[in-house]
Amino acid sequence: MIKSHVLGFPRVGEHRELKFALESFWKGDSDEQALLAVARGLRKRHWQAQIAAGLDFMTVGDFTLYDHVADHIQLLGCEPTRFGFTENQTALERYFGMVRGKSGHVDTHALEMTKWFDTNYHYMVPEFSPSTQFTLHASRLLEQIEEARSLAHPIKVSLVGPLTFLWLGKSKALGFDRLALLDQLVPVYAQLLSQLAKAGVSWVQLDEPVLGLDLPSEWIARCESAYQPLKSTGVKVLLATYFSSTQGHTSLLCKLPVDGLHVDCCRALEDLPQVLDWLPNYKVLSLGVVDGRNIWATDLDRAHSMIQQAFDSGKGEVWIAPSCSLLHVPYRLSNDASIRDEVRPWLAGVHEKLDELKLLKMRVEAHLGKTNWDTAQAQLWQAHQTRVHQRQQSPLVHNPAVRTRLAELPAGVDQRSSHFNTRQAKQQDKFNLPMLPTTTIGSFPQTANIRHLRARFRKGELDRHQYWQGIQQEIRQAVEFQERIGLDVLVHGEAERNDMVEYFGEQLEGFTFSANGWVQSYGSRCVKPPILFGDVSRPNPMTVDVTRFAQSLTDKPMKGMLTGPVTILQWSFVRDDQPRSDTALQIALAVRDEVCDLEAAGIGMIQIDEPAFREGLPLRTSRWKEYLQWAARAFRISASGVADETQIHTHMCYSEFNDILPDIAALDADVITIETSRSDMELLRGFGEFAYPNEIGPGVYDIHSPRVPKKAELVRLIQKAIEVIPARNLWINPDCGLKTRAWAETEQALKVMVEATADTRALLNT
Ligand SMILES: Nc1nc2c(c(=O)[nH]1)N[C@@H](CNc1ccc(C(=O)N[C@@H](CCC(=O)N[C@@H](CCC(=O)N[C@@H](CCC(=O)O)C(=O)O)C(=O)O)C(=O)O)cc1)CN2
Ligand SMILES: [Zn+2]
């Protein structure tokens, strides 16, 4: 028997309906009823799409107003007590309180947000302590099940599994291992599954992507006891793994007391032979044959042969699905007018992936003798495969000049000409900066005015000249502001950029970009990852005009602002027909050319942002070394074309650097700025203990919150930094860019930062 399903659907809406509904609700422009109506409408539309695609189940439980992990915090009744919630607050008030950091009278910081595995999606981090208790609050989920029922189609409920939920949470209590909570958590899951059974649900999908990590052996050892109590609840359980291989414990997973196992055949294909061997034939095997992390049309012949293999090995019931939730891909690409005409047919967003599943299932059914494979279907299949092969053979994908340049890279292309100490001395002479130089990370507020300016330019209401005038005005204001408050190293503010990756994707050869290919990044915020389909090159300078203009307005150093090769790679949809390392190298050369052009235009400091450097690490540590080698080399290639006097900065937020400090040092950036304020400089301690050799700017305040820091707090943080890093190597800056902030708080916060620095300098001099 063959069935088809999806692990999860995006929720923001094809036209970002949820984003706009949320933002209007938060502003107070609309009420709760309006917001919930939009949410209901989206769920219904998404289920209808699943029915139309002939899926055997609609997936329920994957929808969320903000983040699915945050939903589980309420579902499992473990809202952190620090929020001080009261009886008379509604679940929705408490929910937005947790994810956004304000709740009635209590003004406390939001739940921490961090990357969902190696994706660009952020989830809200559950907080655990020895006194955490779990209780079931299933009413929201049960309501959604009721809602789905009205569509009269079988449903499957999707939930984050207990191991993953615990693993993704954090405990601040010293020495407390959250695994100790498993025995309390599992009964609540069992209770939930029983309730779902009562509500008539027959299948529940429990997502356990942590099984693709190097889980500590204590965690692996508890898998079986975690799942045993979920066995006799009256629902069947599909255990879903994805993103990475489960090697080391695949056989254990095959034996767990569950009714089915989902494997990611795009990212963990190496697990398939073992699963075919070890998974009992009476269990459901769900094959993730359509890539949920990328946008290339599936090679259906290849997918079909994998499915065939499963039947040949004796499996009785095979399900087919995307490899993971479709959260990570845009809704629809086949009608997107911005995408290059030649490239568009090669792509598949959510709706096109549903079509692929439909076709695959029909083909398998015909193969199993259940139905006929008619000529219309055969033609659809052929047409699809032709598009897949066209991409493989297209001359658009191959640029001989890029290939030649790569083949002929000179030795030492990834090395600065002199050692850091030599460069530092020359740079000090050239810039003559004060002790503890102050700077910012690049972006200033992306105001409604800027977005509107760009929207009008896009629609043709403004011509290029008028748009450029508007942008120049923004740059002028940003420079004036920075001079007024006395920052030492200025930035132009990035007003001309829609996004730090998309902006470069739009200008590089080998990329195309969509008009509407939005993917949720966190909450209501989305990104539109550019599509890298071919060899990358840089036809023209990308940032020289804006940077030169900005520098012309000031005598202070203007820091050029670029996105690095690893981050462009990581935050784009990239080709799957060559190793990621090759693609990174091509991007690196394009960035290098830009760095050299900026230098030639008189820009003395250039920042190459790499916020996704850490996130790019493979999920399995055995593959880290290889990644770190090529990723660091790509960065160095982008940075090494300049003279000793030119100061290269890099920036990384999303920290947790301690396990890769030598690799960060190996980037050999003259200055690195990092996010540290939320960890109270704890992160910097690692750099100190490692004796990080180059200059470093620990973020002194959190840009994720509108809160304006107090001067005394910053003085204390700066002093803490001086304890671990020699003052002569220290810079003072915020944690990250300011694009999501408003001007009022930005001005105040940066002023406080400059004053706190001045006070500290005075203290150092006495
Ligand atoms: N690619 C990427 N990944 C990243 C980050 C990042 O900066 N880039 N940072 C981290 C995540 N942080 C993020 C922070 C902010 C936003 C964000 O603000 N996104 C904007 C969209 C940004 C954008 O592309 N803006 C476009 C389009 C803006 C838009 O929607 N315009 C309106 C029209 C507005 C008007 O007429 O006034 C429309 O098209 O409907 C532009 O500026 O040109 C949003 O969701 O609202 C996203 C991620 C990690 N991953
Ligand atoms: Zn950042």
Q: How far apart are CA 676 and CA 616, in angstroms?
A: 20
Residues 6+ apart with CB under 8 A from 114: 122, 123, 125, 654
pLDDT at 106: 65
Ligand 1 within 6 A of 526 CB? yes
Residues 6+ apart with CB under 8 A from 68: 8, 62, 123, 160
CA of 74 to the centre of ligand 2 (A): 30
Ligand 1 within 6 A of 454 CB? yes
CA of 562 to the centre of ligand 1 (A): 17
Q: How far apart are CA 303 and CA 285, in angstroms?
A: 14
Q: How far apart are CA 111 and CA 99, in angstroms?
A: 6
ipTM over 0.95: yes
CA of 439 to the centre of ligand 1 (A): 23
Ligand 1 within 6 A of 563 CB? no
Which residue type, as a one-letter code, is found at position 533?
F
In ligand 1, the atom with minimum distance to the C-alpha of 525 is 45
pLDDT at 457: 97
Report the interhelical angle of 68-75 vs 139-149 (nearest 10°). 120
Q: How far apart are CA 469 and CA 495, in angstroms?
A: 12
Ligand 1 within 6 A of 452 CB? yes
| Closest-approaching ligand to the CA atom of 455 | 1
With the most atoms of ligand 1 within 8 angstroms of its CB, the residue from 441, 467, 521, 615 to mutate is 521
Residues 6+ apart with CB under 8 A from 141: 60, 61, 75, 157, 196
Residues of each annotated binding site? 16-19, 115, 441-443, 494, 525-526, 571, 609, 615, 651, 653, 675, 736
Ligand 1 within 6 A of 501 CB? yes
- Tally the C-alpha atoms within 13 A of residue 260's C-alpha that lie toward its C-beta: 25
- The values of phi and psi at residue 282, to 5°, are -80, -15
Ligand 1 within 6 A of 459 CB? no
For the record, the structure tokens of 589 come out as 């050369």
Instruction: Give the active site residue among 5, 249, 351, 704.
Output: 704
**Are 295 and 344 contacting, i.e. CB atoms less than 8 angstroms apart?**
no
**The pairing of beta strand 647-652 with beta strand 605-609:** parallel
Classify 101 in phi/psi space as left (phi over 0), alpha (psi -120 to 50) or beta: left
Domains and CATH numbers, the chain: 418-446+481-765 (3.20.20.210)
Q: How far apart are CA 511 and CA 679, in angstroms?
A: 37
**Are 564 and 609 contacting, i.e. CB atoms less than 8 angstroms apart?**
yes
For the record, the structure tokens of 481 come out as 């502001």
Residue nearest atom 46 of ligand 1, based on CA coordinates: 525
In ligand 1, the atom with minimum distance to the C-alpha of 501 is 1
Length of the chain in terms of residues written: 766
- Reduce the secondary structure of 630-693 to three states and give it as a string: HHHHHHHHHHCCCCCCCEEEEEECCCCCHHHHHHHHCCCCCEEEECCHHHCCHHHHHHHHCCCC
CA of 369 to the centre of ligand 1 (A): 49
DSSP state of 414: T
For the chain, the straight-line distance linking the first and the last C-alpha, in angstroms and rounded, comes to 80
**Are 700 and 718 contacting, i.e. CB atoms less than 8 angstroms apart?**
yes
649 is catalytic: no
Residue nearest atom 29 of ligand 1, based on CA coordinates: 451
**The pairing of beta strand 127-128 with beta strand 170-171:** parallel
For residue 421, the tally of other CB atoms under 10 A from its CB is 10
Residues 6+ apart with CB under 8 A from 762: none
CA of 450 to the centre of ligand 2 (A): 20
Sheet arrangement for strand 573-574: 509-512, 531-537, 573-574
pLDDT at 533: 98
CA of 492 to the centre of ligand 2 (A): 16
With the most atoms of ligand 1 within 8 angstroms of its CB, the residue from 23, 441, 499, 518 to mutate is 499
For the record, the structure tokens of 79 come out as 């809202």
pTM over 0.95: yes
In ligand 1, the atom with minimum distance to the C-alpha of 529 is 1
The DSSP secondary structure of 329-359, one letter per residue, reads S-S--TT-TTS-TTTGGGB--HHHHHHHHHH
Ligand 1 within 6 A of 525 CB? yes
Parts of the chain with a pLDDT under 70: 102-106, 655
